[in-house]
Each structure stands twice: as C-alpha cells, then as structure tokens.
Amino acid sequence: MVACPHCAKDGVGVLAKWWSLAASPARCKNCGGLSYVAVSRGSTIGRAAGVLIPVASVAVLVLAGWHWALLAIVAMLLSVLLAQAVLFYRTPLILTSATEVGEARHWQLIGYVILGLVALGIGVWIWASRAL
C-alpha cells in the first residue's frame, strides 16, 4: 500500500498506483480520494515496455544460446528493475477530483480520435501508393 495524498494513510494499492493516469486515477480505500502518477513520470506504454523489452531480450539470448552473456544481462536487468521499483515507490501521487477526471477522459478521447485519424491517413496513403 502507498500513502494517499488526501488522508496521508496507506490506502492506495501499488498496482492501482502503477496503472493510474489522470483519466483513470487510483482510489484510496480509506477516504475514497482520487490520485494518479503524472504521465511525465512514466506513461503506461513506457512502463509496459520497461517490463516487456528486458523479458524479450532475455528470451532471445536464451534461444540463441548465449549463456555467458545471459548471466551478466540478467544481473544488469535486476539492478535496473530494483532501481525502477525504488523510484516508482518514491514518485508522489497527484491529487485530483471527479471533475478533473472527466476533463482528462475528454482530452484522452480527443487524443485517441486524432491518433485514429492519423492511422487511417497512413493506411490510405499506403493503399494509394500501392495502387499506382
């Protein structure tokens, strides 16, 4: 559990803090207050990549048979993961309210629409370039 910025008691779960964003904040089990980790401190994609890339790298080394390098890389990855865990635990939660969450979800939706339009434009451009 992590200390809630509203009531200063341990009421926010570690996984709730890990996945919290402005549009989907963590809720304190004691006071019901909403809080999140700022995106500038690490986005969800960055957090997922921080786990998936090292795991994929180790899997590739195992499959390639590089056992001597594997030991050094595993030691390095464990130290990096430990440092990330300490930094994540010390990252403060930012207070928010239901109104601010609604605004964040609105802007998140607008961002998804823009990304969708960009992806659609790229798809049309690729399709058109192949048709020529």
Mean pLDDT of 86-106: 87
- Of the two residues 25 and 68, the one the predictor is more confident about is 25
**Alpha-carbon separation of residue 80 from 5, 12, 25, 44, 86 (angstroms):** 27, 24, 26, 18, 10
Mean pLDDT of 61-71: 70
Amino acid identity of residue 32, one-letter, is G
pTM over 0.75: no
**pLDDT tens per residue, range 29-57:** 999 999 998 765 455 556 666 667 777 77
11 CB burial (10 A radius; 0-12, 13-18, 19+): buried
Q: Which residue has the tokens 């990549």?
A: 49
